[in-house]
Each structure stands twice: as C-alpha cells, then as structure tokens.
Amino acid sequence: MERVLVTGGAGFIGSNFVHHLVRETDVAVTVLDKLTYASSREAIDALPSDRVTLVVGDITDAATVDPLVAGHDAVVHFAAESHNDNSLHDPSPFVQTNIVGTFTLLEAVRRHDTRFHHVSTDEVYGDLPLVDPSLDDPERFTESTAYNPSSPYSASKAASDHLVRAWVRSFGVQATLSNCSNNYGPWQHVEKFIPRQVTELIDGRQPRLYGSGANVRDWIHADDHSAAVWRILTAGRIGETYLIGADGEHDNLTVVRMLLEAFGRPADDFVHVTDRAGHDLRYAIDSTKLRTELGWSPRYADFAEGLARTVDWYRANEAWWRPAKAVTEAAYAVKGH
Ligand code: NAD
Ligand code: TDX
C-alpha cells in the first residue's frame, strides 16, 4: 500500500489518523475534505508536503471522487456530519454526506477495485440500559448486536454501514468496517461534550449537563482509534466489522466532576440544561474481536490521564478554538442547551 486517500482528513479523528500515517508508515496521503465548519485545516497544515496533499472537495461529487479513488491503493472513509444535536435540528446534510457520500465512494471503489475502510460509530446499535457500575459483566455491544439507531445522525451512519456491507456481498468490494465509541483528544470541535465543558471552564463559566448526567459514554483517545483503523486496514479480514473501544465507561456527571476538579472548582459548580431529544442512555463496547484477532490494545488505558492531557491541550491552543466558541454557544442557546 503506497497511496492512501483519507476522506474527512481535516476533521477531528481523520486529522489524527493522517498524523498517525505520517508518523508510523511510509504511505503518501491525500486528504479529501470539504472543509465544513467542523474541519481544522490547521491540524494538518504543518505536515510535510511530500507526504500529505489536501484536496478540497465533496465526497458526494462523483466527478471529484472517481479520479482520486483511481489514483490510490486504499480509501479510509472518515468524512461525515458527526454531531447528534445538529442532526436533530437539520438532518438534511447528514443524509447527503453520510449516506449519499458513502454511496458515491462505494461506486468509485467498485469501479477501480480499491481497498476501502469505512469508519463508523457504536451509535448504530442504539443504546443499552443504565446499569449498576459494580456489576461484573454488564451487557456491551458486540459485532453481532442488532442495528437500532436513535437519532438522524446514527440512522445515517447505520444506513452507510448497510451500503458498505451490501457492496461487499453483492459486488465483491474489498471493504472492512469499524464501529468505535466516543473519542476525545486534541482538535475536537467545541460543540462536542468534553471540549465544550473544558472551554466553558477556561472562560470561567459553568459546565452544561444534559438531563441528570446519568448517561454513560465509553471514552477512547483518538490516537487509539487511529492505531486500530490502521491495524484493520492492513490486517483485517475483508467484509468483517471490528468494534473499537478502550473500556472507558463513565457517566457524564462523573466526567464533569473530573473537569471541575482539574480547574479547582467545587464539585457542584455546573448547570443542568435541556436534555437532548431521544438521548441514548449508555454505550459500551466489547472489543474482544479486535484485541484477540488483530492484537490491538489501547495506549491510553487511563482515561483520567488522557483527559488531563486534553485539558492542557485546550489551554495551550485557545487561538485555534476561540473563533468557533461564541458561534457554537449562540447556536446552543437557541436550542436551550
Ligand atoms: P468531524 O465532524 O470532526 O470531522 C468530519 C470531517 O469531514 C470534517 O473535516 C468535514 O469538513 C469533513 N466533511 C464533512 N462533510 C463532507 C463532505 N460532504 N465531503 C468531504 N468532507 C466532508 O468528525 P469526527 O468526530 O472526526 O468523526 C470522523 C468519523 O468518525 C465520522 O465518520 C464519525 O461518524 C466517526 N466516529 C466519530 C466518533 C467520535 O466520537 N467523534 C466516534 C465513532 C465514530
Ligand atoms: O453540553 C453538552 N452536555 C452534555 O451533557 C453536550 C454537548 C453533550 N452532553 C452529553 C450528551 C452525551 O450523553 O454528553 C454526551 C456526549 O455528547 P457528544 O459529545 O455530543 O457525543 P455523542 O452524542 O455521544 O456522540 C459522539 O460519539 C459517537 C460523537 O459526536 C459521534 O460522532 C460519535 O459517533
């Protein structure tokens, strides 16, 4: 594999993956990214130009996609509309990018017989019931969990997964899929939970908790997600799905309290805001298949340490997130969040 096309490579996780490729491999990378509000060109700007080329374009545009796919050995597909709250406000770009965009890429890889890896989310499985955290073996998602998405975002990702599986079975497309849990780390947009609360605290404001804060997410550092995707691309079995997770389950209130402590603020110094419609209760990943079959394991096994490094990163990179902050909070205020 010499040339890899990364869609959405200017986004939070896609840019992390591009850094991973530059650091850990010899491949030449082309990023195809529309540079939406969620992108960060700065995240890949400093990478060597003989290793990384940025093409600004839309994955729903076959005239852009087809010749690019023809010139690469593999496509790793991160590009998406990624925020649940936005999908509840206006689902249209989610259907276009996540479904039509994936379809457009699949038709191109089918035509050119190109290896394809589809990056997806654990949200396609819907949610799990809240459980007592002291339970020994609570239910978790596995590769055979039934699809049951809740939001327009997760439904659009589920649809894209189904397209990939059908193109494998019906047309022999050489594809793998991965479904990962909630990522955190540098370069995540301030609309998302952890960066939003960290930047609120930097601004001396209060974290904003949806509902009671009992909802559980299974956190993984974006570096660990990137390493897993590369492992699946190079060693995974065609047609297979691999779940990616780092055993990082925490309820949202606990994460807010960890952040309050990091800023030396009282444990109850937060506000409850309007809950998300259809808010999924709990996500939890069983990543046994990825660990045993492909030998992957997370480097950031300690969430508290990864979170502390992420807080430091946002403190040091205010110039990057500041322009998006006011507009994001203004949009949240309209929705009552
Ligand atoms: P992000 O919103 O930070 O980045 C998405 C990128 O895709 C942006 O750079 C954007 O400009 C680009 N993009 C959007 N529409 C496009 C289009 N039509 N054509 C070309 N580029 C387009 O998203 P993220 O959080 O980095 O997520 C990346 C992928 O990982 C998504 O597929 C998402 O579903 C999946 N995922 C995310 C998480 C998470 O916790 N963030 C967890 C599991 C899976
Ligand atoms: O201000 C907030 N307060 C709050 O309590 C925000 C923005 C969120 N929340 C809650 C909602 C969720 O329970 O925090 C949790 C995490 O919220 P998000 O960061 O919006 O993530 P989530 O909806 O869980 O989805 C994320 O993980 C799976 C990504 O955005 C998706 O792209 C990915 O597929």
Q: Is the CB of 84 under 6 A from ligand 1?
A: no
Name the residue at shortest CA distance from atom 16 of ligand 2. Answer: 193
CA of 167 to the centre of ligand 1 (A): 22
Which ligand 1 atom lies nearest to the CA of residue 96? 18
Predicted TM-score (pTM) of the model is 0.98
Enzyme catalytic residues: 122-123, 153
Alpha helices in 221-302 (DSSP H): 222-235, 252-262, 288-294
3-state helix, strand, coil in the chain (%, to 5): 45, 15, 40
CA distances from 247 to 141, 142, 160, 299 (A): 12, 13, 26, 12
- ipTM score for this prediction: 0.99
The ligand that comes nearest to the alpha carbon of residue 58 is 1
DSSP state of 123: G
What pLDDT does 133 receive?
Answer: 73
Question: What is the rounded average pLDDT of the residues 316-330?
Answer: 98
Mutate to test the pocket of ligand 1, among 78, 124, 310 (most ligand atoms within 8 A of CB): 78
136 has pLDDT over 80: no
pLDDT digits 0-9 by tens, 272-319 = 999 999 999 999 999 999 999 999 999 998 999 999 999 999 999 999
CA of 263 to the centre of ligand 1 (A): 29
The ligand that comes nearest to the alpha carbon of residue 189 is 1
Which ligand 2 atom lies nearest to the CA of residue 216? 13
- In this predicted structure, which of 131-145, 183-197, 255-269, 273-287 has the lowest mean pLDDT? 131-145
Q: Is the dihedral of CA 228, 230, 234, 237 positive or negative?
A: positive
Q: Is the CB of 229 under 6 A from ligand 1?
A: no
CA of 202 to the centre of ligand 2 (A): 20
3-class DSSP assignment, residue 180: strand
The whole-angstrom separation of Cα 10 and Cα 194 is 19
CA of 199 to the centre of ligand 1 (A): 21
pLDDT digits 0-9 by tens, 66-117 = 999 999 999 999 999 999 999 999 999 999 999 999 999 999 999 999 999 9
Task: Compute the mean pLDDT over every residue in the chain, rounded to the nearest whole number.
Answer: 97
Domains contained in the chain, CATH given: 3-189+221-248+280-305 (3.40.50.720)
The whole-angstrom separation of Cα 193 and Cα 196 is 5
3-class DSSP assignment, residue 179: strand
The rounded percent of the chain whose pLDDT value lies above 70 is: 100
Burial 279-317 (b: 16+ CB within 10 A, else e): ebbbbbbbbebbbeebebebebeebeebbeebbebbeee
Ramachandran angles phi, psi of 173, nearest 5°: -60, 140
CA of 268 to the centre of ligand 1 (A): 33
pLDDT digits 0-9 by tens, 35-63 = 999 999 999 999 999 999 999 999 999 99
Shortest CA distance to 59 belongs to which of 108, 20, 122?
Answer: 108
3-class DSSP assignment, residue 258: helix
Q: Is the CB of 94 under 6 A from ligand 1?
A: no
Q: Is the CB of 125 under 6 A from ligand 2?
A: no
Q: Is the CB of 192 under 6 A from ligand 2?
A: yes
What pLDDT does 135 receive?
Answer: 80
The ligand that comes nearest to the alpha carbon of residue 81 is 1
CA of 268 to the centre of ligand 2 (A): 21
